[in-house]
Structure 1
Amino acid sequence: MMKHQRPWDALPSSALLNIFYRTSIKDRSRNIPLVCKSWAHASGHPHCWVSMIADNYYSESESFEVAFLKDYYPYAASFVDPFDGRRSDDPRRGIVCLQALIGRAGGGFAVNSLYFFPFLTSFDGPPNDDALLRLIANHCPNLKHLSFHGSYHASEEAIFDIFRSCRELELIDFSNSPYFNPSILQELSCCCPKIRGIRRKGDLEPNFAYDLTKWFPRLRLLNLSYSTIVDIDLFTIVTNCKELQYLDVTGCQQLIRYMHISLVRQFGGKGTLAHRERHFTNRNQSSEQMGKSTIGERLTLYHTG
Structure 2
Amino acid sequence: YTYVGSDAITAVAANCPRLSCLRIGASDASDDAIAAVLCHARRTLRHLDLSELRDASDETFAALAKYGSQLRSLELTSLSQVATADMVDFVSGCPRLRCLSFAGSAGATDDVLFAVARFCPLLRVLIVSSTAVTNDGLFAVFPACRELELLDISHLGANVT
Give 2:2's aligned residue.
87
Give 1:254's aligned residue.
158
CA deviation map 1:103-148 (0-9, x unaligned): 7xxx221111112221x21xxxxxx421321331343221111122
**Contact 1:113-1:143 within 8 A present in 2 as well:** yes
Give 1:23's aligned residue.
none
The answer to whether the aligner puts 1:214 opposite 2:122 as a matched pair is no
3-state SS of paired residue (1:254):
helix
Matching residue's letter, 2:5: G
**Contact 2:73-2:98 within 8 A present in 1 as well:** yes
The answer to whether the aligner puts 1:164 opposite 2:80 as a matched pair is no
Matching residue's letter, 1:197: C
Matching residue's letter, 1:114: L
Matching residue's letter, 2:49: S
3-state SS of paired residue (1:132):
helix
Give 2:34's aligned residue.
133
The structure-2 alpha-carbon separation of the partners of 1:109 and 1:185, relative to structure 1 and needing over 3 Å to count, comes to: farther
CA deviation map 1:67-113 (0-9, x unaligned): xxxxxxxxxxxxxxxxxxx135xxxx51233345557xxx2211111
The structure-2 alpha-carbon separation of the partners of 1:158 and 1:200, relative to structure 1 and needing over 3 Å to count, comes to: closer
Superposition misfits of 4+ residues, deviation over 6 angstroms: none
**Contact 1:174-1:180 within 8 A present in 2 as well:** no
Give 2:147's aligned residue.
243
Q: C-alpha displacement at 1:216, in angstroms? A: 2.2
3-state SS of paired residue (1:251):
coil
Larger Rg: 1
Gaps of 5+ in 2: none
Distance 1:131 1:233 in 2: 32
Give 1:199's aligned residue.
101
Aligned residues: 157
Give 1:8's aligned residue.
none
Matching residue's letter, 1:116: I
The structure-2 alpha-carbon separation of the partners of 1:229 and 1:110, relative to structure 1 and needing over 3 Å to count, comes to: same
Gaps of 5+ in 1: 1-85, 122-127, 258-305
Query: 1:24-63 residue pairs with structure 2 within 5 A?
Result: none
Give 2:138's aligned residue.
234
**Contact 1:216-1:241 within 8 A present in 2 as well:** yes
Distance 1:102 1:207 in 2: 32
Q: C-alpha displacement at 1:171, in angstroms? A: 0.9
Q: C-alpha displacement at 1:196, in angstroms? A: 1.7
3-state SS of paired residue (2:114):
helix
The answer to whether the aligner puts 1:111 opposite 2:19 as a matched pair is yes
Give 1:97's aligned residue.
8
The answer to whether the aligner puts 1:148 opposite 2:50 as a matched pair is yes
**Contact 1:140-1:166 within 8 A present in 2 as well:** no
Distance 1:212 1:242 in 2: 12
**Contact 2:10-2:37 within 8 A present in 1 as well:** no
Matching residue's letter, 2:147: E
Give 1:78's aligned residue.
none
Give 1:185's aligned residue.
88
Give me the TM-score of the superposition, normalised by structure 2: 0.76
3-state SS of paired residue (1:172):
strand
The structure-2 alpha-carbon separation of the partners of 1:139 and 1:240, relative to structure 1 and needing over 3 Å to count, comes to: closer
Give me the TM-score of the superposition, normalised by structure 1: 0.44
